[in-house]
Chains A and B, each alone.
Chain A
Amino acid sequence: MNELRKIWRVPLGLTIPAFAILLVVFGVPAIQLFLISTNAPSFSITNYHAFFEQPGNILILLQTIKVSVVTTFICLIIGYPTAYLIVNASKTASAALIVLVFIPWLTSGLVRTYAWTVILGDRGLINNVLIGIGIISTPLSLLYNRLAVYIGMVHIVLPIMILPLVSVMYGIDKSLVAAARSMGARPVLAFWRVFFPLSLPAVRSGTLLVFVVCLGFYITPQALGGLSDAMLSNFIAAQLTNSLDFGPIAAEAFILLLIAIIMLSLFGLDLSGTQSQPDSVRKSEYGWASALRTLRRQVGEFVVPLRARRWPKQLYQPVHSGRSWNTLAAIFVILVMMFLLFPGLIVIVMSFSAGAFLEFPPSGFSLKWYRSFFGDSSWTGAFWNSLQIGVMVTVLSTVTGTLAAFGLTRTSSRIRRVLMLIILTPITFPTIVVGVACYLGLVNLGLIGTKIGVVLAHSIGAIAYVVVIVAATLSNFDQRLEQAAKSMRAGPIRTFVRVTLPLIRPGIIGGAVFAFISSFDEVVVTSLVSGFSLRTLPLKMLENMNQQIDPTIAAVGALLVLMPVLWIVALYLTLWRSRRAHEAGLPLAGLADRAEVPSSAAGQRQ
């Protein structure tokens, strides 16, 4: 007992429960998986060899990489200007826009994928509109092709690109751009020479995150793509349900993981966030960034004579700022926001449809699909399962995650970095890899198809969210307050309850909300570990999406969309109240500042 007490005194002791869960459910099975893939103990590469021997497999691998690269690129092209405009909008507008980006990120990816089937389907919104106004007479086949996959994937990962960009761009001192202009740089040049290079670290981390998340995509390509659009995840999942031979599956998972790790280490993902901006700027002075800079300098020398001629001519020339440019920017932002939010809205509207099929716009208003949802015990049972699992995950991960966050913030920064990276693996690794490892872990424990099993599988991701959010709150927490309390003769427990806890409560509540949402929406890992008996709401929705097109799932989707929105409103009210209470809470902008870290961990949300 005394020994145990000593362990708790050491900050790292507090991280034990969280790491215990992580190791048992994910860590050990991941190592096991690697050993299986190499046929341990005989160690051979036959499984890898077998994979690469099949041209079809290589095709799928290349296709996975290609789809991920293209999606990432589109996200960057859309996300960068959006983030830039958000940061440069007025204070209220920019806070509102950040919320609008957050909402889709918080709502179930499954539902948003489903929404695209409704928009792009043969009897969907676009075809109905086009037929309605007489442009076409037969429906275009917009669904089940590569384009639909790209639309759906970009829609889902775009917030993961925008949020880190916004967070870093907020940190860029505006007077730097002003300084560049005062030295004669025109707005475009000031942007290109000063703002853009300073935003590169975010471009790098956003791009990497989006790419790695895309690698693990599973549901969207399956639901929106054709047979030829399958990705490696689909391939792995299909094998997991059909075959008992774990060797090839393990090898495939590790090939996917290897690509992710190679990308991460090649471009050096910096999860430490924005605190050390000058350093991270310096760090980027190798590789392509440096080559880019040299190239830019060379090009710069070409325009020297041009500038020399232009300078005296333009001196003291008035310029009237273009209003058309502002209008263009506003239209762009509105379009992006519509792209992000419209699918969710469609699902909500459609859930009130009176028709017998999925069609948009709905032919009338009725609540019959809600009635059919609440009248069907298989749906309500799934709903209860989800709710119970969500609550258990929330409790488990909030307690262990908060303890771990406490322990981590009180250890040396070197150990913290490493442990943080480890604890974030469930949400930075490709989802399917996490799923396969969890499957193995629960097989070890004999918990496949049980609620406890699903709770454990969900908890590893939920703990990561809690740790990230609580640690961010704690890093703003002034430890001298605790010393002050102790100097006033408050014991450690009373200090915690009376001083520390009230101040970090917003962070803990935020972490709990994220934990619940992440569990409530989870479907990829669940589909692998739930066996045949246990159904959660998203899982049942996924099955019905595949089997029948029944508007009941629109009602389910609407519930899944509204739930996180209600949560975020509750969360915001709590934060807002606590800010009023002691004028030091997290404003919404603060939430966005911290967006980098949670969003850097956004893996699971497809």
Chain B
Amino acid sequence: MTETSDTLQVEFRNVTKLYGAVAAVKELSLGVRRGEFLTILGPSGSGKTTALMLLAGFVAPSSGDIIISGKSVASVPSYHRDQGIVFQNYALFPHLSVRRNLEFPLEMRGMEASERATRVARMLERVHLKEFGDRMPSQLSGGQQQRVALARALIADSPILLLDEPLGALDRNLREQMQGEIKSLHCEFSKTTICVTHDQEEALTLSDRIVVMRAGEIEQIDTPEALYDRPTTRFVASFLGEANFLTDREFKIESDARTSDAMPMIRPERIRIIPPNGRLQADNGEHQFASGTIASMIYAGPLRKYEVRVGSTVVIIREHVAAGQQIFRPGDEVQLEWLRSDIRFVAS
């Protein structure tokens, strides 16, 4: 890690958290830059939630240290840390109105009543809930509750914002809308934001960088694009998007970049299907080919997903639906074509 501690807002230094003999988080080292949107992505049990709990101060690390704004916070309780948290189920106080919910963090910081009222009014306007200040949380829709939770986390102007599966409880349409909302709030308030999720789409659309975790350890840290385009491990390649692993038996991919335990991988949208008698690219060495049989075809709106059997391997291909395109049916003999440069080698 090349960052110095003044550009880092949050830093994990060799943090381990043991539950009994099981390490939920193992030797975690990670720096989060000021103003960055960092997502911790992983399946359940990967330790991502524990990482967030450690950061929030709800659990203490078994060993290692956590630095926030240059201060060690390993034994600082959550109520002495200045941070806003959006909880998975929002954790809106059911006995307080929206207004009183938003006032709560300000009150804890000893803000005068008049100042609180101004801030709450401004924040309610910002999240388009101006008329809802006197409602109780139970009288709001899921999306509105989500916005109250975000507003409550942002209102005290804490430098750090933590999001725990922020969109998990919303349906698909609302989720896309809220992704936009979170993105714009992040641009506007430029808080250092750490988000925990198992939803890869959420991670890809929101984050500056993504940390993929597996079994308590970091698998890879990178920008969303780099992570999708150049995964370093088989786990990352298959957890983020779909991946075809090209076995030696059928494909025999050779490359200078290939190390002994590396496995060639290609994304489904990088492969083209062409009829067996169709024109083949003049082979200038940039393309590779394989022949197979269509096993299934699924039409999914803008995309068409094929499964093609090549020897004993099934290759997944995604094609954008376009006018005048040839449609293949199960049983059709086809040729597959891809660019040699689209092959990635991942550690298995």
* Chain A residues at the B interface, C-beta cutoff of 8 Å: 173, 175-176, 178-187, 189-190, 193-194, 197-198, 277-279, 281-282, 300-301, 303-311, 314-321
Q: CB distance B75 to A178 under 8 Å?
A: no
Contacts of A194 in B (CB 8 A): 93, 95
CA distance A227 to B169 in the complex (A): 64
State how many residues of chain B have any CB contact under 8 Å with chain A.
40
Query: A319-B76, A319-B77 in contact; A183/B108 too (CB < 8 A)?
Result: yes
C-alpha gap A419/B77 in the complex (Å): 50
B68 and A316 within 8 A (CB): yes
B-side contacts of A304, CB under 8 Å: 107, 110-113
Q: Which residue of the partner chain, among A178, A189, A307, contacts B109 with CB atoms under 8 Å?
A: A307
* B156 within 8 Å of A (CB atoms): yes
The residue in chain B whose Cβ has the minimal distance to the Cβ of A307 is B110
Chain A residues with CB under 8 A of B87: 175, 178-179
- Of the candidates B58, B73, B88, B108, which one forms a contact with A316 in the assembled complex, judged by CB atoms under 8 Å apart? B73
Within 8 A of A (CB), among B58-79: 58, 68-69, 71, 73-79
Query: Quick check: B91 and A179 within 8 Å, CB to CB?
Result: yes
User: CA of A180 to CA of B94 in the docked complex: distance in angstroms?
Assistant: 12
CB of B40 within 8 Å of the partner chain: no
CB-CB < 8 A to B71: which residues of A? 316
**Are the CB atoms of B109 and A308 closer together than 8 Å?**
yes
CB of B89 within 8 Å of the partner chain: yes
Contact A311 B110 (CB under 8 A): yes
Q: How far is the CB of B145 from chain A (nearest CB, A)?
A: 12
Instruction: Assess whether B80 is in contact with A198, with CB atoms less than 8 Å apart.
Output: no
Given known contacts A175-B87, A304-B107, A184 and B136 CB-to-CB distance under 8 angstroms: no
Residues on B with beta carbons closer than 8 Å to the beta carbon of A320: 75
Known interface pairs A173-B91, A176-B93, A316-B71; 9 further A-B residue pairs with C-beta atoms within 8 A, sorted by A's residue number? A179-B91, A179-B93, A183-B108, A184-B79, A184-B105, A186-B79, A278-B138, A308-B110, A316-B80
Q: Does B143 contact A (CB under 8 A)?
A: no
With CB as the reference atom, state the residue of chain B lying closest to A172: B94
Query: What CA separation (Å) do A314 and B79 show in the bound complex?
Result: 9
Judging by beta carbons under 8 Å apart, are B80 and A185 in contact?
no
The chain B residues found within 8 Å of chain A, CB to CB, are 56-58, 68-69, 71, 73-85, 87-89, 91, 93-95, 104-105, 107-113, 136-138, 152, 156
Determine if B94 and A315 form an interchain contact, defined as CB atoms under 8 angstroms apart: no
The reply to whether B138 and A181 form a contact with Cβ atoms under 8 Å apart is no
CB distance from B199 to the nearest CB of A (A): 20
Q: Of all chain B residues, which has the CB nearest A279?
A: B138
| Cα A278 to Cα B71 with chains together (Å) | 40
Q: Are A182 and B109 in contact (CB under 8 A)?
A: no
Q: Quick one: which of B89, B110, B112, B137 contacts A306, CB cutoff 8 A? A: B110
Neighbouring B residues of A198 by C-beta, 8 Å = 94-95
Residues in chain B near residue A306, CB distance under 8 A: 110
- Compute how far the CA of A310 lies from the CA of B79 in the bound complex, rounded to whole angstroms: 12
Closest 10 CB pairs of A and B: A308-B110, A307-B110, A184-B108, A183-B105, A179-B91, A278-B138, A318-B75, A175-B91, A316-B71, A182-B85
* Nearest CB in chain B to that of A278: its residue: B138
Separation of A466 and B64 alpha carbons in the complex (Å): 56
Q: Are A182 and B56 in contact (CB under 8 A)?
A: yes
B94 touches A278 (CB 8 A): yes
On chain A, the residues within 8 Å of B77 by CB distance are: 181, 318-319, 321
Q: Chain A interface secondary structure, helix, strand, loop or mixed?
A: helix
Count of CB-CB pairs between chains A and B under 8 Å: 118
Show 28 residue pairs from A and B whose CB-CB distance is below 8 angstroms, ordered by the A residue: A175-B89, A179-B87, A179-B93, A181-B58, A181-B78, A182-B58, A182-B79, A182-B83, A182-B84, A182-B85, A183-B84, A183-B152, A197-B95, A198-B95, A304-B110, A304-B112, A304-B113, A305-B110, A307-B110, A308-B111, A315-B82, A316-B76, A316-B81, A316-B82, A317-B80, A318-B73, A318-B74, A318-B80
Q: How far is the CB of B133 from chain A (nearest CB, A)?
A: 16
> Contact between A187 and B79 (Cβ–Cβ < 8 Å)?
yes
Rounded to whole angstroms, the CA-CA distance of A304 and B103 in the bound complex is 12
Beta-carbon nearest neighbor of A197 in chain B:
B95
CB distance from B20 to the nearest CB of A (A): 13
Between A198, A278, A304, A310, the greatest number of chain B beta carbons within 10 A of the residue's beta carbon is seen for A304
Nearest A-chain residue to B83, judged by Cβ: A182
A187 to B87, CA, bound (A): 18
**A182-B89 contact given A308-B111, A314-B80, CB 8 Å threshold:** no
| Contact residue among B76, B107, B136, B137 (Cβ-Cβ distance under 8 Å from A300) | B107
Let me know if B111 and A315 touch, CB within 8 A: no
Question: Contact between B93 and A182 (Cβ–Cβ < 8 Å)?
Answer: no
Task: Check B107–A317 contact: CB distance below 8 A.
Answer: no
Q: Please report the C-alpha to C-alpha distance between residue A301 and residue B77 in the assembled complex, in whole angstroms.
A: 25
B109: chain A residues at CB < 8 Å are 184, 307-308, 311
Does B83 lie within 8 Å of A278, measured CB to CB? no
Question: Considering the chains assembled together, what is the distance between the CA atoms of A173 and B93 in angstroms?
Answer: 10
User: Is A178 a contact partner of B95 (Cβ separation < 8 A)?
Assistant: no
Contacts of A180 in B (CB 8 A): 93, 104
B75, B109, B113: residue with the most chain A Cβ atoms closer than 10 Å: B109
**Cα–Cα, bound, A165→B112 (Å):** 36
**Which one of B80, B81, B88, B136 has the greatest number of beta carbons of chain A within 10 Å?**
B80
A319 to B104, CA, bound (A): 22
Q: How far is the CB of B269 from chain A (nearest CB, A)?
A: 40
A422 to B80, CA, bound (A): 52
Task: A493 to B95: give the CA distance in the assembly, Å.
Answer: 46
- Which of B74, B78, B136 has the largest count of A CB atoms less than 10 A from its CB? B78
Bound CA span A317–B91, Å: 25
- Nearest CB on B from A318, distance (A): 4
- Chain A residues lying within 8 Å of B138, measured Cβ to Cβ, are 278-279
Residue in chain A with minimal CB distance to B149: A179
Complex: how many Å from CA A183 to CA B73?
A: 16
A175-B87, A315-B82, A318-B76 known; A185+B95 contact, CB < 8 A: no
Give the residues in chain A near B113, CB-CB below 8 Å.
301, 304
Given contacts A183-B108, A307-B110, A316-B71, contact A281 B94 (CB under 8 A): yes
A161-B326 Cα distance, complex, nearest whole Å: 74
CA distance A318 to B75 in the complex (A): 5
**A581 CA to B279 CA, complexed, in Å:** 64
Among B69, B94, B95, B156, the residue within 8 A (CB) of A183 is B156
In the complex, which of the residues B76, B89, B108 contacts A317, with contact meaning CB atoms closer than 8 Å?
B76
| Contact A319 B75, beta carbon cutoff 8 Å | yes
**Nearest A residue to B88, CB-CB:** A175
Contacts of A318 in B (CB 8 A): 73-77, 80
Nearest A residue (CB) for B87: A175
Bound-state Cα–Cα, A282 to B19, Å: 39
Q: In the complex, which residues of chain A have a beta carbon less than 8 angstroms from the beta carbon of B136?
A: 278, 282
Question: Considering only CB atoms, which chain B residue lies closest to A314 in the complex?
Answer: B80
Expressed in whole angstroms, the minimum distance between the Cβ of B68 and any Cβ of chain A is 7
B56 — which chain A residues lie within 8 A by C-beta? 178, 182
Give every chain A residue within 8 A of B95 (Cβ-Cβ): 194, 197-198, 281
Complex: chain B residue closest to A306, CB-CB: B110
Chain A min CB distance to B147 (Å): 16
